[in-house]
Structure 1
Amino acid sequence: METVVKSHLHESLLTLTLSRPAFLNALTLDMASQLKAELLQAQDNDQVRCIIIKGDAGHFMAGGDLVYFAGTLSMSEQERHQAGLEAIALVHETISLIRSIRKPVLASVQGAVAGFGVSILAACDLAIAGADLKLTSAYCQVGLSPDGGFTYFLPRMIGEKRAKAVTLLNDVYNAEQVLQMGLVNQVVPVEQLPENTLLLAQRLAQVPQHALAQAKGLINQSSGHSLEQQLQAEQESFAGCMLTPDFAQRVTAFVNKRKSS
């Protein structure tokens, strides 16, 4: 199997590069499988404190590989339907892992971001973009409805009416428009994207891991909770964080610094 997700671990930062440059890093089942495997390994690797997902050769991901879908046209309707269910089940596992992994996941995006690429971008905890970013839904344009949590994340992040416009009209949005929508946290010149990605990832890696994981989980689950349920979850999480070595060390350091000033 060709390696289409390149993995590089350096000083607690794991970079996963989507790499099919000749096809703008379009998603294949092999890519989904490799991304899932890398995320599962990172989940259990204590050396990893932050995960960066980026694309190769100046683009993030131009959606799914239509060559695969064209190959299903010779199947019977039942076979084609089953193939679709199995393929989407696999790619959805990667989205679930991005959300559930107890480590921050940072998207570093530029160039083409379409289809499932938008879903990955939305699923990540934070996102930084190069100024050359061009984002579009692309699903309906080829006769498909969205996947990858696209219809879950976008209405919550940018509002229902705007999410419908992005999905149904297939307009192309530039980096500043995507920033205004709230789909990315920061836009930088393309030549500064690697350096700024590294700086942001290093900041995330320095946050106490247990507290970060708890905060990530609380925010992820909040949209499905009532206020009372979320308050209860926050109470339990806060009390649990008070038992960690990180809390004891940082509070002690703060108090000692205050006494000495």
Structure 2
Amino acid sequence: MNLFYCSDIPEMPALPLLARLDEEETRHALKVLRLQPGDAIRVTNGKGYQYTGTISGLTGKYLEFWLTEQIQVFDFNRPRIHIAVSPLKNPDRLEWLVEKATEAGVYRISFVVTQRTEKFRVNLERMQRLAVAALKQSMGGWLPLLTGPVEFNSLVNEASENEKYIAWCEGKNPLLWDALSGRHDTLILIGPEGDFTPQEAEKALCAGFTPVSLGTHRLRTETAGLVSIFAFQIISRNL
């Protein structure tokens, strides 16, 4: 069964609930999938749950349906992974990361501006659309929080996660997967092409971050981000 996205469903709705798809989702349901009144439907609001129900009909441009069952698909008791990544000059690569990170179950993605960041703007609206598409494709239930761009100093000083790491190519740092406990909410900083500056690394260390390595190969920013997410998810058994 296909999964639809409906942002209007409240976090803990009283069921049964009459809801509707937006115009884009309605077109897909009617024109592509040929759904009809009485057909079963599965939707998510991206807040940890999926819902099943039955299509009731078309009201104007919107497909309406009754939701009758709530299914929790995101474990709120498990530790969460937050990555902070520098925007990239090539937006396609950053979009790829958002898509794959959503499929991998990332909790939050922050876009952080560093001294070596080459592009300072991020199209959050487009990133949100890509994340929604990836959420539906992967049959997930959590739509990652997308924030920023935020200045490096602000992010490291305000980080509240129990475990905080900075992926830094300089020095002999422990491997990320050896340092991770997998038991706590975790933030991992991923730098731009050219890495963080020594001054930024020092600020992160003073703010309680642990420097880590992602292996012997130097990875592109988007690859490093995805490797970090999967390392955390495997260690914490979130996959």
Q: Shorter-chain TM-score: which interval?
A: under 0.3
Please identify which structure carries the higher helix content: 1
Give the number of the structure with larger relative contact order, counting CA–CA contacts within 8 Å between residues 6 or more apart.
2
TM-score by length of 1: 0.26
Please identify which structure carries the higher strand content: 2
